Chains A and B, each alone.
Chain A
């Protein structure tokens, strides 16, 4: 099973500045409105800061939950596609998403979900994350990085023990 690339946040690097929310809402809605951002920054003070957006799940619970069949997942990219004519803004997908990654646009009564800025060179939240906390990665890429770090830590510990 292959995972789709999606926006991944490294909580150790995230400072909670929410530039991602501002870049996203400006790109998608033309205004600065964190509530309309497809990526949301979570701060649990003082040291937990992390941004969350659509994880492009396998068998996405939002698609399953939608009573109007307004949501579907692109097989090619994994992006959740919202059919704006079918969406009634009922909010079941919002409640079904285990990451809280879906928002309702109160003006249009249609839900909004990260589409990785498909029409642009890269997701704008990633571009505006000056701390490199955000990246467009697959789950496997994250796992590779973790494996590498774990091995380095392990070997360093062994070196320290040997000396």
Chain B
């Protein structure tokens, strides 16, 4: 077996036992890695109806064939579990050295269940797994935790995946953090770790990774690494994803003040261009990445002097424009705090924006907010609130539940503008403008995730007109999802997607050169579909119905302006229903969005066809 190890490490924190599950080439060829392998591990190891914070929930890590090799942007892992935010399957992705370390230690995946008696960290030293006391690390921020563990073990090559105070306090959108700047975000994987009293997974992997055809692979890798210096990645290399701010603002699809507008009047001051000129320190890369998109920025003076972190568009929209904040140093500080506490910047920002709107509408008062004047644009209140959320202090205890639960509790009409789907806060593409993504956001298995859907690309790249919809969007959204899933299963970073001549043929070739397992472009094509159906199957087992695939009332009731025409636009419920129907049809599902048995059998998922299929 090349590149793969054929071994899944199972760890039970309750009784401190471990075991190795052997998987063969047929299994690995079917599930490959990433979100598909993680979803399979989650399906097999998390019982129906599991409490996301119960010992029965399992954190399921999966790497890919490419982790630890020279295949560009391949050092990635996925981690799946039942989400405390959505109560459905959440699959997060993160990148860099920790992903390679899993492989170098000898595993294709790691499943962690149970609950420790006291704060614990797991040290995986190749074949040896230790359960170590983490009492002295409990309460520590993410970056400090990583350094403390490396110092304790006394080896710089130890890679850590950790939680911060947010995970410890079960903030429903707490992250796992690795290699300092990388987060497995969104669906609360850090909170799942926190519920298990698991502070960190530290790995020292010393095994070499062998590939089937080193010479061919090395030549192909070099060719792609060279392509990755070209126009297909230029945006990421120079301004990074913050380049989106001005691009989206000019199209009227930059979510602003809790999705009340699609244009931010001060967009220049929170743009990638502004950041590059005033705050840029260095551009760095994840392990194995020839692109390098991570823009490390810092604040040199003023009230946030010394703040320093890396900034991506989604953090910038959520904690910036969507909270009406136009003071860049304040946004840098807010992102830094989220990173230190180990908390999803997107959900944090959208939740704070909801609270800001509640304050401005008189639904939450200054007293409710521990004395904070939570107007849109108040960066001091935002940074104060972030700490309260991470530690569940005062009003932070409510907001740590996310917008869905918080708005249900506060009531008074605030659910109307709680910008969430399935409990997860929305991403930074205004769905009244990006209506293909409106569909993608409604049907996403983990919630309204732009990365899993990729449907926004059809809207923002003029494949279809903005501010319009149509039945053809069903097929487009499905194709974009499958395309994204192939990248997430093979485990290529999405930022290299424009360097492929043909994603199916190129990734089949990379896969075969790496593993020696024959794979055809047609088989690659099926992978995306298999991953989506498997994730959907998990949700169906959890009681999903088509009512879960919908958008918040604001999208239908409050218009935004299309700057090209001056028209006020809302999404019509009947249009969304029409697109969802078309999407279910494109997927080969029933009118109610369930999966026919034959579909599951066609995708090689015959073993779950009886339980899930209709």
Q: List residues of A whose CB falls within 8 A of some B CB.
A: 12, 15-19, 22-23, 25-26, 29-36, 45-47, 49, 106, 127-128, 130-131
Q: Which residues of B contact A (CB under 8 A)?
A: 68-70, 104, 143, 157, 179-181, 206-211, 214, 218, 222, 225-226, 228-229, 281-290, 292, 296, 308-310
A26 contacts B218, CB within 8 Å? yes
B208/A33 in contact, CB under 8 A: yes
B181 engages A45 (CB within 8 Å):
yes
- Closest-CB distance, A148 to chain B (whole angstroms): 22
Return the contact of A26 from the options B214, B285, B287, B290 (Cβ within 8 A).
Answer: B214
Q: Determine if A33 and B287 form an interchain contact, defined as CB atoms under 8 angstroms apart.
A: no
Q: Which of chain B's residues have a CB closer than 8 A to the CB of A36?
A: 208
B149 CB → nearest A CB, Å: 14
Q: How far is the CB of A50 from chain B (nearest CB, A)?
A: 12
A130 with B208: CB separation less than 8 A: no
* With A17-B287, A32-B210 already in contact, 7 other A-B pairs whose C-beta atoms are closer than 8 Å: A15-B285, A19-B225, A30-B210, A45-B181, A46-B282, A46-B296, A131-B290
In the complex, what residue of chain A is closest to B73 when comparing beta carbons? A17
Given known pairs A29-B208, A33-B208, A35-B206, the reply for A45 and B222 (CB within 8 Å) is no
Residue of A nearest to B67 (CB): A32
How far does the Cβ of B300 sit from chain A's closest Cβ, in whole Å?
14
Main DSSP-derived SS at the A contact region = loop
What chain B residues lie within 8 Å of A31 (beta carbons)?
208-210
For the complex, what is the distance from the CA of A22 to the CA of B229, rounded to whole Å? 19
Cβ-defined contact, B282 with A47, below 8 A: yes
7 tightest A-B contacts by CB? A33-B208, A31-B208, A15-B285, A17-B285, A15-B292, A32-B209, A22-B70
B70 touches A23 (CB 8 A): yes
Question: Which chain B residues border A127 with CB–CB below 8 Å?
Answer: 222
- Assess whether A15 is in contact with B222, with CB atoms less than 8 Å apart: no
B514: shortest Cβ distance to chain A, in Å?
10
Chain A residues near B229 (CB, 8 Å)?
130
List chain A residues, Cβ under 8 A from B209: 31-33
- B16 CB to nearest chain A CB (Å): 29
- Out of B179, B181, B214, B286, name the residue touching A17 (CB < 8 Å): B286
Most buried by A among B180, B285, B296: B285
Which among A25, A32, A47 has the highest number of chain B CB atoms within 10 Å?
A32
In the complex, chain B residues whose CB is within 8 Å of the CB of A128: 70, 222, 225
Nearest-neighbour CB distance to chain B for A110, whole angstroms, equals 16
Would B292 and A47 count as touching, CB distance under 8 A? no
Distance in angstroms from A122 CB to nearest chain B CB is 13
Cβ B222 vs Cβ A25 within 8 A: no
A106 to B207, CA, bound (A): 11
Report the separation of the CA atoms of residues A5 and B70 in the bound assembly, to the nearest whole angstrom.
Answer: 26
Bound complex: CA A127 to CA B310 (Å): 29
- Given contacts A25-B208, A26-B218, A31-B210, whether A19 and B226 have CB atoms under 8 Å apart is no
Q: Which residues of B contact A15 (CB under 8 A)?
A: 283-285, 289, 292
A18, A26, A49: the one contacting B288 at CB < 8 Å is A18
28 contacts between A and B (CB under 8 A): A15-B283, A15-B285, A16-B284, A17-B285, A17-B287, A17-B289, A19-B70, A19-B225, A19-B288, A22-B69, A26-B218, A30-B210, A31-B208, A31-B209, A33-B207, A33-B208, A35-B157, A35-B206, A36-B208, A45-B143, A45-B180, A46-B282, A46-B296, A46-B309, A46-B310, A47-B296, A130-B225, A130-B226
B164 to chain A minimum Cβ distance, whole angstroms, is 15
- B292 — which chain A residues lie within 8 A by C-beta? 15, 17, 131
> Which residue in chain B gives the minimum CB-CB distance to A42?
B156
**In the complex, how many angstroms separate the beta carbon of A119 from the nearest chain B beta carbon?**
15
- A19-B70, A32-B68 known; A46+B284 contact, CB < 8 A: yes
In contact, A32 and B208 (Cβ under 8 angstroms):
yes
Q: Nearest chain A CB to B136's CB is how many angstroms away? A: 22
Partner among A23, A35, A131 whose Cβ is within 8 Å of the Cβ of B218: A23
Q: For A11, give the chain B residue with the smallest CB separation.
A: B282
Which chain A residues lie closer than 8 Å to B208 at the CB level?
25, 29, 31-33, 36
Chain A residue contacts of B282, Cβ below 8 A = 12, 46-47, 49
A49 cross-chain contacts in B, Cβ below 8 A? 282, 284
Q: Which residues of A contact B210 (CB under 8 A)?
A: 30-32
CB distance from A144 to the nearest CB of B (A): 25
